[in-house]
Structure 1
Amino acid sequence: MSESAAKGRPVIRGIDASGACPVEYRFAHARGGNRHLTVVFANIHAPDDYGWATGVLDNLRSNILWIRDRFDGGNTYYLCRNGDFGVEQSVIGLIQKVVKALGLTPADVTLWGSSKGGSAALYFGLKYGFRNIVASVPQLRIGTFVRDVYPRTGRHMLGETMPEDTVRLLDSVLTDLLVSEANPGAHLYLVSSPQDEQYATQIEPYLGLLQQYPNFNFLFNESPHITGHGKVTQRNTPPLLGIACLLVEGISPRLGVTRHGYEEPDADRSGITEFLTSTSVVQDRLAPPVVTMPLPQEPLPVTGVVLTGRAPGAVRVSIWKNGEYLGSAPVGAEGDWTWRSERSWSTGEHTVRLFAVDRSGIQSPRTDVTFTTSDRTTVPDAPDITSPERYFDAEGARVVLLPPLLHTPEPGQQLLATSIRFTGASNAATHVGFRENGVLLGSCPVAHDGRWLWNADHDWLPGTHTVEVIAANEAGEASPPATLTFAVIPVPGQ
């Protein structure tokens, strides 16, 4: 799904679910055919767990891949969850797929991040051989830091008890790479400050190891305006962006100009297009939600609009109107959902757009539903089909299927014997049966969207009739009956 960054640069969202942990990402194509990739990691306070994603990088000419640090609901430094480094393998898998799809090599890549994002940039850059690494105020002893400073993140990464051996392991992942001088040809750009309260424990002890790298560049800012960790990156954003722009153009500031005009306007984009399409956040494998109520042309009140439907495989249905988010509806265990609007609608026709979302964040194609509101219309409340009580009757017995919703005839309506038609909706059912005084009158199938229709070709006697309507599924399980009473009047001339 495409969206726009703060300055209007088109951004594509996706999820790479090929690894052990689904990895959410945002991607922006290069400008002017630039042949470079900037990979951006998030700091601890990044909005929505995407770093530098508010438009600040919009002037970079490179391709940009933002990776979200949200795995099982928490931050992981892009490394581990409960001590399992499956997160790392999934993240590097995504990066390598994008590099390959763009027809690039690790020499054409810059890894970028601040704070925990800087730690990730250093780790992945050194371990996996990427050419350029820009890291502002990273933590190099990650285990001790998350245990002592961000224990919630520490428990998420290391396990509830944060065992000491796992803390030590996480402390060593970066320092071991530096000791072994992994990726010695990397161009390292590290930003820090003595005003950073983390400098003495997280940076200074390891400067000797970093200085072994021939292409190590240290931006040390002693400005009195820096008042703490977060201010270091903020104060150094202009030079950081300057470095990034030079790296994108193939220029390494320490070594001078190594390559100019790193552009290929006519480059084949088929590889990255295929990858973005296959990992798009919108996937056909999740069916779009269906709406079972209201029926077409059925008027709704201006207050208390209720939509119901089915979205099997989803955890929620998201509802929008003209690009405005209206709300979402949780999806029950059987795939049913109900949404009640709290807003007041103007009278007339309205179209809302819905999509389903599954547990991994995949979105379905869109469904548009149009309805008309009237200030002269009232409708009964829809049942709360997501409530646990829906599975039990008043005596505590389990109810597999809800009674079907009845749309026509209306209660008490007078009908000609030749024009009786039953319509309604039934979630999780395959067919609906009709009986009167214990006698089966007929049945009809339930469509895939939950709606059903039965033309009642039956010898109806004039007078009042009470019909029970029962939903059933393929297993033979039946719902409690829904009861409808209406009157049949003689056909004129007969």
Structure 2
Amino acid sequence: MKKRCIGLYFKMISRTFKSSTSVQYALKTRRSHDTLVIVFSAFSRVGLPATYNYMATTKEVAADRLFILDDFGYNKQGGYYLFHKGTRAPETVVTELIESIIAQKKYRKVICVGTSKGGYAALYYGLKLKANAVIAGAPQYFLGDYLTDIPEKEPTHKGMVGEKEAYSVSYLNRLLRDKVLEEPKFPINFYIHYSCNEHTYREHIADLIQDLKTSGYPLTLDEQRYYKHQEVAYYFPPFLKRTLKKIIEE
């Protein structure tokens, strides 16, 4: 029943953008604002459909808000907004959606937001589309390693790269890192939330932070002390609210 209600709710608030494939999104606008906040979602809990994240957290933000649904990949649970069964079709349609929204209004600032999977996507699209700022909580960095570290993730991995594995583990690991390190660089401000006590820090975030510093990007860190990756959902929202307020008012 809960799964069905969630599905109906998101169907009611969603629009469809069609290109080579289609993507669901929700656009919340406010009158006379020149900032666009783009929110990418983490994986939903097991058994629940893909959802939008941080709608309630950002409802008072003085900006237009674009929420994009990642219902690609295995069981429509998500393909990092990049992959679907061995193709990069999601990246194409998501890029075109964002560019079309930005083209409708002369935004002074574009901010990409997300945690975990959504944090990876916020980093990727923030770099690709030259956003003004990225606010990411406990993001993955080496995508190939993350998707292949335990057998339980195999369906998600195959749902992204296909049964014939069109994209190798090393390719997936380089995907975001190459964007962080490539030249020339756009002056994006990065705000990274993490806990040094949970595994994502050791496996991903420490290297991400080092690479952002090496590339000379402006970097603000929010270090916490929780132990479980899932706890980012509780610790990230206050940081997100503070940081959005700061960026928008600058």
- Which of residues 77, 80, 83 in structure 2 aligns to 1:80? 83
Q: Which string of whole-angstrom CA distances, capped at 9 and with x for unpartnered residues, describes residues 118-177 of structure 1?
A: 0000001112211111111111111221122422211100112546x5222111111111
SS in 2 for 1:140: coil
Tell me the residue number matched to 1:205.
207
Tell me the residue number matched to 2:33.
34
For 1:232-381, what aligned pairs fall within 5 Å after superposition?
Answer: 232-249=232-249, 251=250
- Which of residues 193, 196, 216 in structure 1 aligns to 2:195? 193
For 1:56-455, what aligned pairs fall within 5 Å after superposition?
Answer: 56-71=57-72, 73-104=76-107, 108-149=109-150, 150-162=153-165, 166-181=168-183, 183-211=185-213, 212-221=215-224, 223=225, 226-249=226-249, 251=250
* Contact 1:190–1:218, Cα closer than 8 Å, also in 2: yes
Q: Matches of 2:240 and 2:35 in 1, distance apart?
A: 17
Matched positions, count? 232
Tell me the residue number matched to 1:291.
none
Q: Which string of whole-angstrom CA distances, capped at 9 and with x for unpartnered residues, describes residues 203-253 of structure 1?
A: 1123221113341111111x3xx121111342232122110122233x2xx
Higher-helix-fraction structure: 2
SS in 2 for 1:34: coil
**TM-score, scaled to structure 1:** 0.45
**TM-score, scaled to structure 2:** 0.85
Q: Matches of 1:53 and 1:207 in 2, distance apart?
A: 24
SS in 2 for 1:206: helix
Q: Matches of 1:133 and 1:81 in 2, distance apart?
A: 24
The answer to which structure, 1 or 2, has the higher relative contact order (CA under 8 A, 6+ apart) is 2
AA at the equivalent of 1:69: D
* Contact 2:49–2:77, Cα closer than 8 Å, also in 1: no
Higher-strand-fraction structure: 1
AA at the equivalent of 1:102: K
Q: Which string of whole-angstrom CA distances, capped at 9 and with x for unpartnered residues, describes residues 259-305 of structure 1?
A: xxxxxxxxxxxxxxxxxxxxxxxxxxxxxxxxxxxxxxxxxxxxxxx
Tell me the residue number matched to 1:55.
56
Coordinate RMSD, CA, aligned: 2.0
Q: Matches of 2:23 and 2:53 in 1, distance apart?
A: 17
Tell me the residue number matched to 2:6.
none
AA at the equivalent of 2:123: L
* Contact 1:127–1:182, Cα closer than 8 Å, also in 2: no
SS in 1 for 2:14: strand
* Contact 1:126–1:182, Cα closer than 8 Å, also in 2: no
Percent identical residues:
24
Q: Matches of 2:149 and 2:28 in 1, distance apart?
A: 36
Q: Matches of 2:92 and 2:164 in 1, distance apart?
A: 24
* Contact 1:195–1:229, Cα closer than 8 Å, also in 2: no
AA at the equivalent of 1:36: T
SS in 2 for 1:198: helix
Q: Which runs of 5+ in 2 are unaligned?
A: 1-11
AA at the equivalent of 2:93: S
SS in 1 for 2:199: coil
**Alpha-carbon distance change, 24 to 209 in structure 1, aligned in 2, over 3 angstroms:** same
